[in-house]
Amino acid sequence: MSVSEKVSLSDALSNVDVLDELTLPDEQPCIEAAPCSILYQANFDTNFEDRNGFVTGIAKYIEEATVHANLNELLEEGNDHAVMLYTWRCCSRAIPQPRSNEQPDRVHIYERTVQVLAPEVDKLLQFMYFQRKAIERFCGEVRRLCHAEKRRDFVSEAYLLTLGKFVNMFAVLDELKNMKSSVKNDYSTYRRAAQFLKVMSDSQSLQESQNLSMFLATQNKIRDTVKDALEKINGYEDLLADVVNICVHMFETKMYLTPSEKHMLVKVMGFGLFLMDSDACNINRLDQKKKIRLDRIDRIFKNLEVVPLFGDMQIAPFNYIKRSKHYDPSKWPLSSSPNPPSPQADLMVHLPQIREEHQNYISELARYSNEVTTTFKEAGSDSENRAVTELCLRGLQLLSSWCSVLTELCSWKLLHPTDHATNPRCPAEAEEYERATRYNYTSEEKFAMIEVIAMIKGLQVLMARMETVFADAARRSIYAELQDFVQLLLREPLRKAIKNKKDLIRSIVVSVRETCGDWARGCEPQLDPALRGKKDADASFAIKVPRRNVGPSSTQLYMVRTQLEALISDKSGGRRTLRKDLDAATLQQIETFHRQSFYWMYMLNLADSLAKCCDLSQLWYREFYLEMTMGRKVNKCTVRHQHNEECNDLITMEKRIQFPIEMSMPWILTDHILRSKEPAMMEYVLYPLDLYNDSAQYALTVFRKQFLYDEVEAEVNLCFDQFVYKLSELVYAHYKQLASSMLLDKRYRAECAARGASTGCGAGRYASLLRQRHVALLGRHVDLCALVAQRINADMHRALDAAVAKFEAGDITGVVELEGLIAVNRLCHKLLSRYLSLDEFEAILRESDHGVLAPYGRITLHVFWELNYDFLPNYCYNAATDRFVKCRGIQFAPVVQREKLQQFGHAMLWGSKQLSLAYSAQYAQYNGFVGPQHLHALVRLLGYQGVAVVVSELLGVARGLLHGTLAQFTRALAAAMPRHCKLPRYDYGSNGVLGYYHAQLTDIVQYPDARTELFHAFRELGNIILFCMLIEQALSQEEVTDLLHAAPFQNILPRPYTAEGEKLETKQKRLEAKYSALQIVQNVEKYGTAKQSQLSREGDLLTRERLCCGLSLFAVVLRRLRACLAAPQWPAPPAPPHHAPLHTDDTAEFHRLWSALQFLYCIPVGDTQFTVEELFGEGLHWAGCTIIALLGQQRRFEALDFCYHILRVQRVDGKDELVKGIPLKRMVDRIRRFQVLNSQIFSVLGRHLAADDERAGVEHVRCFPPPAATHHN
């Protein structure tokens, strides 16, 4: 659109209206205060600049408006000075002082001092001039109003209130001046430098400097000056009594809106009474004369013992009374007694009411807001508008009252710091501000404060959202009420006044009508009979009152209200009051109008009022306490006395310009939520942080001090980092606990709980916090979600790292726990991924496993390490339990050195202490043995690749054993074997046979290394073989489970049950049809793209053919071992082909050697000795049998074995005697047992070898259908 193009107003307005229709989704739940990047506030307060426009108004009030305008300016200036004093920071402490007069650069120092401080000192000078001027002006006004002529005249409410504001201003300025010792110090530093340099040469400036010095040094200077000046004015006390009375009246009838106005009224009462009480005037006597009501004020002072004075300064207004001359405690029964404490000290008594108010109001607002958003209306009817305006006003009043409760509590707490005696949590050496904030609130109080803050901020958001609607309704309804009142209601009093010739009333009414009448035709209808004092004729005269969307201007409103007040006032300058001339009905109408219109000003400046009603910025400011402690921990002083700069008794002279965040209210509250982890409060956590926004806003717009803003910012930076850190920790720990307790067995959990160890997870309401994508802080918008995600991502990496490290610090049995830890982390990741974008779990796992860059990771490496150094040398296999166990009490190999176990936080492992205990108890069951559970866990963790790596490494070890130790022993033993050893005839009897073999094999039997080394080497080899076999079993079981899971999706259904006469095919077809929706390939082909269907087909094929080759890991292992045995390094080569002649007596072949060894280990041992089974397990037999089987000597072994022969002979003769110390029967029992074992081993091996042979050459592709439940017909 070009600039020159003209747009009509209506077009422009409709363009604006169209903006509403654009949808702007913002998916984050609103749990923070109103965020606004752009703040727009129009201010139509003209400060009576337009007063001359209302020429028809009564001149007296236009003059008064002029006075008001001037006084308002003075008040504003006074506020600037108050800000200047309050935010004054000591400069002189930072300025170097010349140590002696001989110091060469002292002139330079002084010059710079003057240069730096001159602008500051000028401010002080201006302040002094201002207070002089303001006191003069104030006394001037008082004098004018107290003039004998004037005294009985009516003084308007607005006027009295302005005088009250002056009284308040003097009180504030005086207290600030008293409090700021740094101002005095700075000035004396300046004066010293200036005197040295003789900057002030003329007598006048010297005098001024002296005055300023005196002014600053004299305590209560302003207060006393005002009091002295007032006491010279005759009858001032009556005027002040009026001021105090109007304050009491306004306070009691709640004619105020913002908390600061409320507190101002109380301060005026206190300070006003103090000013009134003098030699000439006794307030007690005034009370007797009913000019003031001390009992009412007493009640107010009791209810509000402490009010904020300025920033974090507070004042007890009753103290003014106590200091006054005629203080009489009996007149102040409530305030003078310390009991009961003021209700302001206890937030808890207010809380239920606040909650109820909040709930009621919110519901009402919600109902209305729904109505507004769903129905479009140009403008509501008068009554609707009035209802909305009232709703809005009520909201403002509620906000203000809650805000007051909070600020009053804080003020009270500041004035009543705790100590070690009252609060044991408070350390004895806690400093002043700490005692006033950090330790001064109980946990409930902090929660209550948070809740109230949340209510205030939450309602503020809701109201701000509807601000345009509210403002619109308010303007329309105010306009309607005002015009109806002026144009219709005032006709009757006007008619009467004209008829009865009451000129004064007539002129006032006419003036009111003309000041703000907005006549339909531009001017008053001249035909109106009322203007001639006549009643309306039958053909009634109708006035059509127009409607507009605008309220009266500030001056107009003032004029109307003040003039009406003159009508209804009961004071009227000695004449009889005008009230008497008005009839009761009219009087009441005017009074109602006057009362209601008081709030119009606030409604017309809605945005401003709303902001002021919700302003909690002062919760952060602590200039007063900073000034008091001068940035030092003065309470470290060992001696009780008034501290000064030279105090030598301070132990720590800790210099700082701000208090730490632990003493800062916003952070105390925020931290309290995080610390207590209270789920109900968690969603409020952003509200206390918003206090910083308030404070920063205040620093920028009201105090206008960069350094204050910088300090807020610095604190926010610090706090927010902490906040994110703590929050992420909480979130992570919570979800970890959740995951852990979800995975814990339910009954086990119940039993834990029954024993008092709660393994459950508390409630946690982090969901809405984790969806915060733009948290407004100091004009910045922070993506909380991303920040938390970043930290939790790191936590996730650390946790998996910890899991792996924990595994690395333990033996192979830890693999089950590792799997459990990974499962918990996986579930935790899944739960968190709902809210946060984290790295993929598999990626994190691989990274923690260091498996991204290397072909195999830490887990695989550690598994192999443990297998090689701990498992193979130390464990013995037991087929009965299907477990490998360590030989009790004996460590065969040197102790394995492992990484030291690091200490991890509970959150890194199982989430909490109780959960860690529960889980460690659970996993302790898996220690001390290696069984199917471990192998399954291993298979799942390592995957095909890892298993392949481990197995091929183990094969390497096996080769080493076969070609190394075992080859050596075989050679040595072969040499020790008798050249010939035959099977003796049965005639010799079993005892003879045993004796024969014992004699033949004596070298072997006495071979010293057999038990200590040879058998161990065989056991290790056997362990390798067993491990490979068992791991293959585990692997196939896992695969079968996978296949079973996949079956329904691949159209593989279990055979249905068929009753007699039913056809299997039809049933099968029906089932297939029923589950056709599950069949992936068909469905993807039907609905997907060509690429998708191809992918699904390939995936299906991969799943189907996973086992299709029937590839057996163990067969490969056996083949490799056979290759090793065929290698030249192996001393006992395989048997020659079958047709070669069999030398039954030869002992050259390996099976003969093994027979000898078998003879050795079949010899029974004494009761105290370790048995062969205990020491070597079944690995020994597995090793021997495998070698024999692989060498193809199984048949020969079974036919020619020495032991078997003894067994056979013994079966025949059944002898039992001791042969060379060997009990024959026991020996034979052992042989029988080992024979069974050997044949079991041979049959297992035979099955694998047969399958392998069959497949040698061609690969038979065969589909194994997944196992189906056996079907019984």
Partner 1 sequence: MSQPPRETIQKQIQQDWANREYIEVITGSIKKITDFLNSFDMSCRSRLAALHEKLVSLERKIDYLEACVTKGETLT
The residues that touch partner 1, with contacts defined as CB under 8 A, are: 12-13, 16-17, 19-20, 22, 24-28, 35-40, 42, 44, 53-56, 467-468, 471-472, 475, 514-519, 522-524, 548-551, 553, 607, 773-774, 781, 783, 785-786, 789, 837, 839-840, 843, 847, 852-855
- Which amino acid makes up residue 1188? I
Closer CB to partner 1, residue 272 or residue 552? 552
d(CA 611, CA 691): 13
CB 155, min distance to partner 1, A? 27
Q: Is 1223 helix (H, G, I), strand (E, B) or coil?
A: strand
d(CA 541, CA 705): 62
* Terminal Cα distance for the chain, rounded: 86
d(CA 1209, CA 818): 54
d(CA 389, CA 480): 12
CB 517, min distance to partner 1, A? 7
* Rounded-to-10 torsion of CA 394, 398, 400, 401: 130
| Paired residues of 876 in beta bridges | 885
Closer CB to partner 1, residue 28 or residue 572? 28
Residue 1096: C-alpha distances to residues 489, 1043, 1108 (Å): 85, 16, 18
Closer CB to partner 1, residue 774 or residue 1011? 774
Task: Kindly report the length of the chain.
Answer: 1273
CB 377, min distance to partner 1, A? 15
CA-nearest of 1180, 1177, 1183 to 879 is 1177
Closer CB to partner 1, residue 474 or residue 1187? 474
- Supply 546's token pair: 């127009």
CB 59, min distance to partner 1, A? 12
CB 672, min distance to partner 1, A? 28
d(CA 862, CA 809): 9
CB 7, min distance to partner 1, A? 12
d(CA 1178, CA 6): 101
CB 523, min distance to partner 1, A? 4
| Paired residues of 777 in beta bridges | 780
CB 53, min distance to partner 1, A? 7
CB 788, min distance to partner 1, A? 12
CB 163, min distance to partner 1, A? 30
CB 29, min distance to partner 1, A? 11
Range list of H helices, 324-442:
333-336, 347-374, 382-415, 432-436
d(CA 83, CA 91): 17
Task: Quickly count: other Cβ atoms within 10 Å of residue 1021's Cβ.
Answer: 26
Closer CB to partner 1, residue 24 or residue 421? 24
CB 548, min distance to partner 1, A? 5
d(CA 834, CA 202): 78
Closer CB to partner 1, residue 75 or residue 531? 531
- Supply 861's token pair: 């490496």
CB 708 within 8 A of CB 727: no
CB 75 within 8 A of CB 172: no
CB 883 within 8 A of CB 709: no
Closer CB to partner 1, residue 471 or residue 1135? 471
Angle formed by the axes of helices 294-303 and 236-252, nearest 10°: 50
Closer CB to partner 1, residue 520 or residue 702? 520
CB 549, min distance to partner 1, A? 6
CB 1247, min distance to partner 1, A? 40
Closer CB to partner 1, residue 21 or residue 202? 21
d(CA 175, CA 274): 14
- Supply 932's token pair: 């199917």
Run of H or E including 1160: helix 1150-1162
Place of tokens 């779990």: 841
Closer CB to partner 1, residue 531 or residue 718? 531
Closer CB to partner 1, residue 276 or residue 836? 836
CB 596, min distance to partner 1, A? 20
CB 545 within 8 A of CB 524: no
| Paired residues of 780 in beta bridges | 777
Prior bond of 98 cis (ω within 30°)? no
Q: What values do phi and psi take at 911, rounded to 5?
A: 110, -45
Closer CB to partner 1, residue 348 or residue 852? 852
Closer CB to partner 1, residue 782 or residue 831? 782
d(CA 906, CA 928): 25
Place of tokens 């009865």: 500
Closer CB to partner 1, residue 511 or residue 912? 511
Burial class of residue 387, CB neighbours in 10 A (0-12, 13-18, 19+): middle
CB 502 within 8 A of CB 581: yes
Closer CB to partner 1, residue 513 or residue 749? 513
Which sign does the torsion angle of CA 619, 624, 629, 635 carry? negative
Closer CB to partner 1, residue 53 or residue 380? 53
Q: Is 728 helix (H, G, I), strand (E, B) or coil?
A: helix
d(CA 301, CA 1017): 96
CB 16, min distance to partner 1, A? 4
Closer CB to partner 1, residue 46 or residue 1036? 46
- Supply 800's token pair: 């998996």
CA-nearest of 309, 362, 238 to 85 is 309
d(CA 1245, CA 1186): 7
CB 36, min distance to partner 1, A? 5
CB 25, min distance to partner 1, A? 6
Closer CB to partner 1, residue 14 or residue 219? 14
